């Protein structure tokens, strides 16, 4: 909630004030999100190996400090390159942190891992649901730069202390067993086929490559919609900023249900459940076209909220079910790098298309097509580890 959720969900609520204060364009202000996700993609490539070597606890402490100090540094932003710089550090810290959380939860759960991930990541939705009402008075009273610095208090007084005193990295820390794993760094295993220990071979495989395509495309779509929702409803649909922030809060509230429901669907239907989530994301884009009043706005918010709830759960679920737990930090880290590349490209490309064509129509058509292609790519993903476990259980 505090280290990943707020730094991500606050961005769409800052673009309007940025434009008003400095006269920056729609693509200019989304540079903050693009820089965040580009740097997050780069960090994700390395963070899996860092977690594998040094553990999730140290990683969490470092990323918490990076995000907290970066949010304070918003006070000094006056130029576009400042925006890119703080976005870069925000991405390094927050994306690394969410990878750490995904790895921890994926180590603890197996049979209901989709539901467990959905519940654990509710903090991001909680941030989006409550932030519009917290941030608006702060924006009016202190301006957007000081507001972000104030919001960093949640890291210093809640997130970091709670993690340090409560969280445990693996079941082994409490004397419990994780299937096939013998040590907390997940480097020694027993009874696992060689394919689940070979990261290089995994990356070269068809499943990894098709999963990468799907994850990149859906990341492009999801963050494009998320980052442009407030401005679209406010200015392009002409419904005003108050209704826009209410709608954003409603989307994030509904995404809480989406995380739980899709977590259950992933456990029940495996990869087909993720494909359903990706199709729902495309439906959410379609329902943006007719937004002009309360009824159409609510329909859009429901579709967007439910589908967005599934996106943050999909990567660790797919990696765990396809590649197993032994190399999980590396596979989740690498796949999150690919997802973050989509996150980075989407908002900026949509912003440029908006400025070129004067509306979002062509951009939305592109996003619908990308949702369909992402869904199709998952048809070639094989949940090998899930299949192996079932065969092992049946043989016993």
pLDDT tens, 84-138?
999 999 999 998 888 888 888 877 877 677 788 878 888 888 888 899 889 989 9
Domain span at 283: 5-395
Q: Are the beta carbons of 295 and 275 closer than 8 angstroms? A: no
pTM of the model: 0.80
Confidence of residue 180 (pLDDT cuts 50, 70, 90): very low
Share of the chain above pLDDT 90, in %: 51
User: In terms of C-beta density within 10 A (0-12 exposed, 13-18 middle, 19 or more buried), how is residue 339 classed?
Assistant: buried
Which CATH number fits the domain that encloses residue 283?
Answer: 1.20.1250.20
Each residue's pLDDT tens digit, 263-306: 888 888 889 999 999 999 999 999 999 999 889 999 999 999 99
Sign of CA dihedral 211, 214, 217, 222: negative
Question: What is the DSSP code (8-state) at residue 236?
Answer: I
Distance CA 382, CA 319 (A): 11
Mean pLDDT score, 22-29: 88
Each residue's pLDDT tens digit, 40-92: 888 888 887 888 888 888 999 999 999 999 999 999 999 999 999 999 999 99
Beta pairing partners, 181: 178, 189
> What is the chain's length?
396
Helix 31-54, helix 328-357: angle, nearest 10: 180
Which residues lie below 8 Å from residue 73, measured CB to CB, with a gap of 6+? Answer: 86, 89, 149
Provide the domain count of the chain. Answer: 1
The pLDDT of residue 212 is: 97
């Amino acid at each position: 909630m505090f280290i990943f959720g707020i730094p991500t969900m606050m961005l769409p609520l800052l673009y309007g004030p940025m434009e008003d204060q400095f006269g920056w364009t729609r693509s200019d202000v989304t540079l903050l999100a693009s820089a965040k996700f580009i740097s997050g993609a780069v960090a994700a490539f390395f963070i899996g190996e860092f977690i594998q070597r040094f553990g999730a606890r140290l990683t969490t402490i470092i990323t918490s400090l990076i995000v907290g100090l970066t949010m304070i540094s918003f006070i000094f932003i006056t130029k576009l390159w400042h925006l890119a710089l703080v976005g870069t550090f925000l991405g390094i810290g927050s994306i690394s942190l969410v990878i750490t959380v995904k790895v921890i939860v994926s180590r603890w759960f197996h049979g209901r891992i989709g539901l467990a991930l959905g519940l654990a990541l509710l903090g991001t939705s909680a941030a989006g649901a409550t932030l519009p009402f917290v941030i608006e008075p702060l924006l009016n009273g202190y301006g957007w730069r000081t507001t972000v610095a104030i919001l960093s208090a949640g890291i210093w007084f809640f997130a970091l202390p709670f993690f340090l005193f409560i969280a445990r990295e693996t079941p082994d820390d409490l004397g419990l067993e994780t299937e096939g794993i013998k040590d907390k760094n997940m480097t020694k295993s027993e009874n696992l086929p060689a394919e689940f220990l070979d990261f290089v071979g995994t990356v070269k495989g068809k499943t990894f490559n098709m999963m990468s395509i799907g994850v990149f495309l859906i990341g492009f779509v999801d963050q494009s919609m998320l980052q442009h929702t407030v401005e679209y409803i406010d200015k392009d649909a002409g419904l005003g900023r108050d209704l826009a922030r209410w709608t954003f809060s409603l989307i994030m509230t509904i995404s809480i249900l989406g995380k739980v429901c899709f977590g259950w669907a992933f456990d029940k239907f495996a990869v087909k459940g993720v494909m359903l989530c990706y199709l729902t994301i495309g439906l959410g884009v379609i329902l943006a076209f007719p937004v002009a009043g309360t009824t159409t706005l609510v329909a859009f918010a429901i579709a967007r909220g439910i589908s967005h709830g599934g996106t943050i759960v999909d990567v660790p679920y797919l990696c765990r079910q396809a590649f197993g737990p032994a190399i999980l930090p590396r596979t989740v880290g690498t796949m999150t790098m690919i997802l973050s590349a989509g996150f980075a490209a989407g908002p900026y490309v949509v912003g440029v298309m908006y400025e070129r064509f004067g509306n979002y129509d062509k951009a939305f058509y592109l996003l619908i097509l990308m949702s369909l292609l992402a869904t199709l790519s998952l048809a070639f993903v094989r949940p090998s580890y899930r299949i192996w476990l079932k065969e092992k259980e049946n043989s016993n």
